[in-house]
Structure 1
Amino acid sequence: MTKIKILDSQEIQKIAAGEVVERPVNVLKELIENSIDAQADQITIYLEDAGKKLIKIIDNGIGMSPEDAKICFAHHATSKITTVSDLNSITTFGFRGEALSSISSVSKILLTTKQENDQLGTTLILNQGKIEKESVSSCNMGTEITIEDLFFNVPARKKFLKSRETEYRAIVSLFHAFCFSYTNIGFKLYHENKLIYNCPSTNDLINRFGQLYNSEIIRNIIPIDFIDKNKNTGYKITGAISTPKYSRYDRNQIFLFVNKRWVKNYKLVQAFIKGYQGMLEVARFPSGVINIFVPFEEVDINIHPKKEEVQFLHPRLIENLITIEVKKALESTFDKNLGQQEVKYKSIDNQKELKWNFSNLVNIEHIKYNDLEDSNTNSKIKIIKPEEVLNILDETFENSNDIKIVQEAKKEQKSTIQNQIETSFIDPENIAIQSQEVSINKQNNIEYIDKTNLSYYKEEMLDYKLIGQIFKTYIIIENDQGLTLIDQHAAHERIIYEQIKDSLSNISKIRLLFPEIVELNSNDISILTQYFDLFDQTGISIEQISINSLIVKEVPIFLKNILVKDIILQSIAYINENHKIGPDKLRNLLLEKMHAQISCKSAIKAGDILQPDAMNNLIKNLYKIENKLTCPHGRPTIHNLTLVEIEKFFKRNYRQKVDYSI
């Protein structure tokens, strides 16, 4: 008896479906592409359980005839190509004829479709790829297709689906990609019968950013447009990118399209980021949409059934073009701003010279929105936090002559702002606020640690001589073994981190006099809400007040004068990057990450001048803890330079008792 058998056609379909359909987002991608190929200009998506239970798409495209509706589910049935040579000029998304066939073999489908000139539409019910019922129905022109119980007949594959949150994030990212690529189409997304996104068609890509994200990003988006006319290569690059003022802790807002097809290409992403070289902080990433148009014969989109990857004939040329054009767009924007600001702002208040004195600070416990009056302009000035000055100026100068500035200061802190902002015209790019050198032992963080019970630290007797501080960053001490250099920021960061871990169940918190409002897109908020309890454990009290807004009411005492938004954004990025690990492990790692973030934000910084008492307190507290050698991020806190190493360098050898005193 032969052991080799030919599989049943239905089993073949189930196995082959895995190449095209691995998860709900793959199904949604194929269905949206079919709607776009059908010339729809309005696409509505409904999801249940992140697509695991139900995916429904309604479009107003050209629809299908009854005959086409029945044959479209057959394997390799397509209207896009007739021969392999057609791939050289393919302009549609689908062409393999595998998608609907694969989807129908692992799900239950309800299809309703109607062409413009037909009086009635066609309705089909399919189960595992077989048509169970066919009928006529009254419906609008277009197609409505419902996919239910994905992988109900393939338990092994269903078992390996990701969590609901992970699948939903993948779907939202795909939805954003289609919205950016096809601004002429209106998109709606419902999840659990709740409208999540409503993106009407628009002619402006920058408006699309506002529909999908928030108003903050719109102010920091610039267009990019390039056509290679000199070399006649047919290359074209368009899109919109963020200025360096706006950045993220992850790459989730970078979208690259090749001939309007969303692709995932690491080298292209790196080429895009390279265009920002020297303009962004470490571990920060830009946002942007880049559309790359190349001749069809120079790109292969048929290297994988999912069609998410492409291969270029000249990949290095494409990468270099992206980097160069991003740099040009950013530089031209800077030049344009510098050229326009003088004209724009000199007109304010008859071009009079403005002089502001920010030397008077307000205690945080008594801060009020007091109006100050400028002697030259009679304009009203409000006091706000220093870090908000540039943002206030950017937003205010365009609309009003009234300049409102709010500055917040610590009660115990004796720092003052030394220099006045003096300029012949108001230029927000050139505003610099220099703070006076601060005695760190008067700052709240050090003071708080000194007053705290440190009995949980291992006591250790210290015998050293304080040499001092160098480069406003490192503390040098001398002992019997030689010299020791201490990184003041890393050391203080480790001290705070250990203190937070020890007092996790009873962190001292303060209620903010002015709660911090954090604007996020709805997707980020949906990610974050399930981790609110972790923030509460770290002393940060967060509530959702709208679809796109959070409010921070309480913070640990370490953060009482520090904005929490960065910690929130870093946490979201960390969740996105590590969503593949188990939920329990992710929560534990995220909690540690948040402790490290709070420690880093609260610690004294490189550049802060320390008085001897502050340095001694820092050294003693550091040497009382066990994990003193590194900060929570792994950077060293201490470096020892032994007496032997010093003597070796100077070629001294006292054992030979040679007189080197000359």
Structure 2
Amino acid sequence: MSSIIQLLPDHVANQIAAGEVVQRPASVVKELLENAVDARATDIKLIIKDAGKALVQVIDNGLGMSVTDARLCFERHATSKIRQAEDLFSLHTKGFRGEALASIAAIAHVEMKTKQDQEELGTHIIVEGSKFVSQEVAVLPKGTSFAVKNLFFNIPARRNFLKSDTVEYRHVIDEFHRVALAHSNIHFTFYHNGSEMFNLPPSTLRQRIVNIFSGKTNEKLVPVQEETEIVSIQGFVSKPEFAKKNRGEQFFFVNDRFIKSGYLHHAVMAAYDGILKDGAQPSYFLYLTVPPNTIDINIHPTKTEIKFDDEHALYAILRASIKHSLGQFNVAPVLDFDRDSNLDTPYHYKDLTGETPTIQVDGNFNPFSEEKPSKQFSSYRKPEPTANWESLYVGLKQDTDEIGQMTFENEEVTSSLFNDEEVEHSVHKTYQIHKKYIVSSIKSGMVIVDQQRAHQRVLYEQFLVNMTVHQASSQQLLFPLNLFYSSSEMELIAELQLSLRNTGFIFEENNTDHIVISGIPVNVTESEVSLVLEQLLSDLQDGIPESSFSQNDTIAKSMAKSLAVKTGTHLTEKEQENLVNGLFACKDPNVSPFHKPTFITMRVEDLDKKFAI
């Protein structure tokens, strides 16, 4: 009987390993950038085409590699960081992953050029699908250049699973941000399809954050600094008023390595407890330095999750340090129990000087005299006699007759107050319960409407019609709005501008870090514009749909969710009636845009059963 178990060929093993290491072009970007950082480069260039599907190239001026190292780096389990198993627990460089370059070379065309500073000539190697095509000597500058072309060329199924260029480009941007933020002392340049997207010179940490996210980032940041035996914390958190709905600008770095930690995120949110709106997410850029032997970085294939020895102490220190910074910079409210607020001077009296009161006494005043005093000392001033006072009474009798006639008519009206028709007319048609539901009577019983979901449905269909028919009306703003966003958010807004114009937005100009809006839809207030766009950007984090209908549908849903009346809002009787009438005028009034029921009905028979005993 033949053997069932057999060893896989190297190229097949590399392709299987690539499935774990290389999931998308952003994975290649991460590997090559980290290798460039470990090579002690001071200048790193990232060049991509078609969101990395056609080309990912990283050029650095680091140490370079010898001829032997250049060949060995494409072998499995090849690394410059590990000599023995104990080294896994004391890593000071980027994460150990011996299959990285071997996996990349197994599923792409790789061209590597490298040269050490002390050597006169460098090495030029071409690998295609784990096969070495050529290796030759070449005249090259100091450093290393990796060009990865045609990713997943030999695995069509994996290539078909890649998302659109917009989505893949955003993943590449995220990886670039993580490496660039971790190393502010390195000059990074990023090119996409021949256009320069980022040029980040060496700078301080604060300046690096501002250069990446642009806009008014600088005024949003509050510094955090803490030194303990367990951990050293430095970085920045955002002021509560600049919190967003999405979790885009949230970064944890442990020993200059980007990580994701729900536990540490909870510590940050606990520090903001009581000063954030519901659902708001603060931005933070926090750098933690801990002894390497107190963490385990090998619990996740991509090294984005790590294990701490003493998580509870780290949680408490992080929460306390952020809370202290927010209070120190007068961001969080501070209570002073020794101060009596009743003694505070009101603002409009703060700069006024007090007037000394004067006393005037009438020596001739006799309280028992029947004659009135000749001089008044009160502040009352007797009005001057009006000229032609007789004209004030002209037509008085005619007006009096009309008033009497009107009063008589009113008496006739009030006499019919208790007629059946009038009583029926005065009954409320709708009622609001707990500022959440609207109850209205129908022939068979009553209908109970969820006001928020109903308004979402009404707004959703309105926006969809406006975008489809292109007949949206706008209201002109007296002063244009300047809204600042990061570079990635600006690209999203640029792609959505045509659809947003169809809803009623008017854009005057687009700059690199902000947009200028001069007109907004008629059912959007000026204060709601930033909230609407912020919610839209949050909903499109995973990318913009390809088809125009899907784009319009997504935008209409997002704007309806932002602008719909919320639970807890009091509605007048007229507003309740308009909302109910608007709901049942919709094409599909039964469900909200998010497929939740908008109303339920209760028949009189159902109510009778409730009372039947």
Offset from partner CA, 1:132-166 (integer Å, 9 cap, x none): 32333333221112111112122222222222111
- Separation in 2 of the partners of 1:309 and 1:273? 19
1:221 positional shift: 0.4
Asked whether the equivalents of residues 166 and 544 of structure 2 are also in contact (C-alpha less than 8 Å), the reply is: no
Match of 1:146 in 2: 147
Deviation at 1:614, TM superposition (A): 5.8
d(CA) in 2 for partners of 1:137, 1:589? 55
Residue 156 (structure 2) aligns with = 155
Is 2:173 the partner of 1:172?
yes
Which of the residues 499, 514, 520 maps onto 1:549? 514
Q: 1:326 aligns with which of 310, 322, 330?
A: 322
Paired residue type of 2:180: C
Partner of 2:340: none
Task: Give the conservation status (yes or no) of the 8 Å contact 1:214–1:520.
Answer: yes
Q: Secondary structure at the match of 2:69?
A: helix
From the superposition, tell whether residues 90 and 515 of structure 1 become closer, same or farther in structure 2 (CA, over 3 Å).
Answer: same
1:289 and 2:279 equivalent?
A: no
Per the alignment, residue 191 of structure 1 pairs with 192
Residue 498 (structure 2) pairs with residue 536 (structure 1): no
Q: CA deviation at 1:519?
A: 2.2
Where does 1:190-269 land on structure 2 (aligned, <5 Å)? 190-203=191-204, 205-228=205-228, 232=229, 234-269=230-265
Cα distance between partner residues in 1 of 2:549 and 2:473 = 27
C-alpha distance in structure 1 between counterparts of 2:317 and 2:38, whole Å = 29
Check whether the contact 1:45–1:58 (CA below 8 A) recurs between aligned residues. Answer: yes
SS of the equivalent of 1:465 reads coil
Distance change in 2, residues 1:510/1:126 (3 Å) = same
| Map of 2:313 onto structure 1 | 317
- Letter of the 1:149 partner, please give it: N
Tell me, in whole angstroms, the C-alpha distance in 2 between the residues paired with 1:222 and 1:179.
Answer: 20
Q: CA deviation at 1:192?
A: 0.5
Retained in 2: the 8 A contact 1:538–1:594?
no
Q: Distance in 2 between matches of 1:131 and 1:624?
A: 68
| 2:487 is the counterpart of 1:522 | yes
The 1:123–1:278 alpha-carbon spacing in structure 2 relative to 1, beyond 3 Å, is same
Which residue in the other structure is 1:39 paired with? 40
1:353-396 superposed Cα distances (whole Å, 9 cap, x missing partner): 8799xxxxxxxxxxxxxxxxxx99xxxxxxxxxxxxxxxxxxxx
* Runs (5+) with no aligned partner, structure 2: 336-346, 354-423
For residue 518 of structure 1, give the secondary structure of its aligned residue in structure 2.
Answer: strand
What letter is aligned with 1:256?
A: F
Distance, in Å, in 2 between the alignment partners of 1:138 and 1:581 is 46
2:66 aligned residue? 65
1:469–1:188 distance in 2 versus 1, CA, 3 Å: same
Measured at CA, do residues 240 and 598 of structure 1 come closer, stay the same or move farther in structure 2, by a change above 3 Å? closer
What CA distance in whole angstroms lies between the structure 1 residues aligned with 2:64 and 2:103? 21
| Distance of 1:285 and 1:604 partners within structure 2 | 20
Do the aligned residues in 1 keep the contact of 2:464 with 2:552 (CA within 8 Å)? no
Q: Which moved more, 1:69-78 or 1:469-478?
A: 469-478
- Is 1:465 aligned with 2:465? no
Q: Which has the larger radius of gyration?
A: 2
From 555, 558, 566, the counterpart of 1:594 = 558
Query: Within the alignment, does 1:137 sit opposite 2:138 as a pair?
Result: yes
- For 2:142 and 2:425, how far apart are their aligned partners in 1? 83
Q: CA RMSD in A?
A: 4.1
What secondary structure sits across from 2:145 in the alignment?
Answer: strand
1:384-533 → structure 2 map (5 Å cutoff): 464-465=427-428, 495-501=458-464, 505=469, 507-510=471-474, 512-513=476-477, 514-533=479-498
Superposed CA offset, 1:212-248 (max 9, x none): 11232210101112222xxx3x322221111102122
Give the match's secondary structure for 1:117: coil
Cα–Cα, structure 1 residues 268 and 532, in superposed 2: closer, same or farther, change >3 Å?
same
Q: Secondary structure of 1:55's match? A: strand
Residues 215 and 514, structure 2, Cα contact 8 Å, conserved in 1: no
Residues 499 and 511 (structure 1), Cα distance of their counterparts in 2 relative to 1, 3 Å cut: closer
CA contact (8 A) 1:535 1:542 kept: no
SS in 1 for 2:302: coil
| CA deviations over 1:281-327 (Å, ceiling 9, x no partner) | 22221111122222222211122332222122233333343333322
The DSSP-based 3-state class of the residue aligned with 1:252 is: coil
Gaps of 5+ in 1: 340-352, 357-374, 377-460, 657-662
Q: Residue 111 of structure 2 aligns to a residue in which SS?
A: strand
What secondary structure sits across from 1:219 in the alignment?
helix
Amino acid across the alignment from 2:250: I
Match for residue 422 of structure 1?
none
1:463–1:9 CA distance, 2 compared to 1 (3 A): farther
Is the 2:215–2:486 contact (alpha carbons within 8 Å) kept by the matching residues of 1? no
TM-score by length of 1: 0.69
More relative contact order, 1 or 2 (CA 8 Å, 6+ apart) = 2
Query: Which residue does the alignment assign to 1:559?
Result: 524
Contact 2:239/2:331 (CA < 8 Å) preserved in 1?
no
Q: 1:280 to 1:616 in 2, by over 3 A?
A: same
User: What amino acid sits opposite 1:547 in the alignment?
Assistant: T
Instruction: Give identity over the alignment, percent.
Output: 30
The verdict on how the C-alpha distance between 1:487 and 1:96 changes in structure 2, with shifts beyond 3 A counting, is: closer
Q: Is the 8 A contact 2:34 2:179 kept in 1?
A: no
Matched residue of 1:322: which SS? helix
Query: What is the Cα deviation at residue 590 of structure 1?
Result: 1.0
Q: How many residues align?
A: 530
> Structure 1 residues 262, 464: closer, same or farther in 2, change over 3 A?
same
TM-score (norm 2): 0.74
Instruction: Tell me if the contact between 1:239 and 1:291 (Cα under 8 Å) persists in the aligned partners.
Output: yes
2:2 matched residue in structure 1: 2
Contact 2:29/2:176, CA 8 A, preserved across alignment: no
The residue type equivalent to 2:127 in the other structure is L
Residues 525-546 of structure 1: per-residue CA shift (max 9 Å, x gap): 2233333333234233447622
SS at match of 1:215: coil
Cα separation, 1, equivalents of 2:603 and 2:481: 48
**3-state secondary structure, aligned to 1:97:** coil
